[in-house]
Amino acid sequence: MNNTRVWQKLRPYALVLPAMIGILLFVVYPILYLVKLSMFKYNLLNKDKSKFIGADNYTEIFSRGDFYNALLTTVLYTVGVVVITMALSLFIALWLNQNTRFNALVQAGIFTPHIISIVSIALVWMWLMEPNYGLLNFALKAVGLPALPWLQSSSTSLLSIIIVSVWQNVGYYSLLIVAALKNIPQTIYEAAALDNASKFKVFYKITLPMISPQLFFILVIMTIGSFKVFDTVKIMTGGGPNGSTTTLVYYIYEFRTTSIGYASATGVVLMAIITVLTFIYFRLLSNKVHYQ
């Protein structure tokens, strides 16, 4: 009797145990370990010579100019990628939502970048952006515009990286928005037509609110993803030229051998920034989002 009672109490915990073990092992433990590392002056060669230095790593972070540089670069990159991708994919989705046979083809094509490895994409774009004989400059010259140095100059390198990221993402997010658009019942638009609503009004008062949950989701996901950008930077510029594309994660990566403690502290700061950002999003926007 008593045994079954106990089992009934325990059963839910037993059922979530496997998942909890996974989370503890692969999420919670690494985070705690990261926090712990961030408070050490860590010696890679001899672990015993590592020294506990409290918050010193953090004071160092906030007193170093290159951290602020990396932060600014990351913010610029994120804003660029998020704004351009959202605007473009919304635009493309609205266009794709008109059912034509041609659009079905475009839909398949536009998704392809998402399934290709970012390494291949980055390499192809590096080739396209080659200043002397790359296709992009060739095209610019063909229409009479001045050629750009692309990845070779600190003034255009971040822009180049943003372009590549947008190009890779835009298809995927377009499809997400198309799916949302297709979910809006046609009769609502018919009712709006009978209500004499202008095209702009229909878009602003009906279409946008109806897809707001998906747009909000994309905004949050893309902000987080962009803040953690690494692979594109690593392959295309290595953070350069002159640190102009050193994003936060790449910044952390640069300290991987020289100062693990400092890198860990930066990682913790990055985590905090993303958490705060997400929180702000939810606070500011969630009452504007319409959930069915």
**Amino acid letter for position 193:** A
The sign one gets for the Cα dihedral 113, 165, 93, 100 is: negative
**Using the rule CB under 8 A, is 210 a contact of other proteins?**
yes
Among 15, 25, 179, 191, binds other proteins (CB under 8 A): 191
What's the gap between Cα 16 and its chain centre?
30
Only segment of 71-79, 94-102, 139-147, 191-199 that touches other proteins (CB under 8 A): 191-199
Phi, psi of 105 (to 5 degrees): -65, -45
Residues in the chain: 292
Q: How far is the CB of 205 from other proteins (least distance, A)?
A: 7
Only segment of 23-31, 47-55, 194-202, 239-247 that touches other proteins (CB under 8 A): 194-202
Angstrom CA distances, 13 to 16, 19, 24, 28, 276, stand at: 5, 10, 14, 18, 31
Residue with tokens 């319409």: 290
- Which of residues 182 and 290 has its CB atom nearest to other proteins in the complex? 290
Q: How far is the CB of 201 from other proteins (least distance, A)?
A: 6
Residues near 132 by Cβ (< 8 Å), separated by ≥ 6?
none
**Using the rule CB under 8 A, is 120 a contact of other proteins?**
no
Q: How far is the CB of 204 from other proteins (least distance, A)?
A: 11
- Which of residues 211 and 252 has its CB atom nearest to other proteins in the complex? 211
- Which of residues 149 and 213 has its CB atom nearest to other proteins in the complex? 213
Residues 160-189 that bind other proteins (CB under 8 A): 185, 187-188
- Which of residues 115 and 194 has its CB atom nearest to other proteins in the complex? 194
- Which of residues 11 and 290 has its CB atom nearest to other proteins in the complex? 290
Closest to 274 (Cα-Cα) out of 213, 226, 218, 214: 226
Q: How far is the CB of 192 from other proteins (least distance, A)?
A: 8
By CB neighbour count within 10 A (0-12 exposed, 13-18 middle, 19+ buried), where does 8 fall? exposed
Only segment of 14-22, 92-100, 168-176, 209-217 that touches other proteins (CB under 8 A): 209-217
- Which of residues 144 and 185 has its CB atom nearest to other proteins in the complex? 185
# binding residues, other proteins (CB under 8 A): 20
Q: How far is the CB of 190 from other proteins (least distance, A)?
A: 5
**Using the rule CB under 8 A, is 206 a contact of other proteins?**
yes
> In DSSP terms, which residues pair with 51 in a beta bridge?
41
- The contact set with other proteins (CB under 8 A) reads 185, 187-188, 190-198, 201, 205-206, 209-210, 212, 290, 292
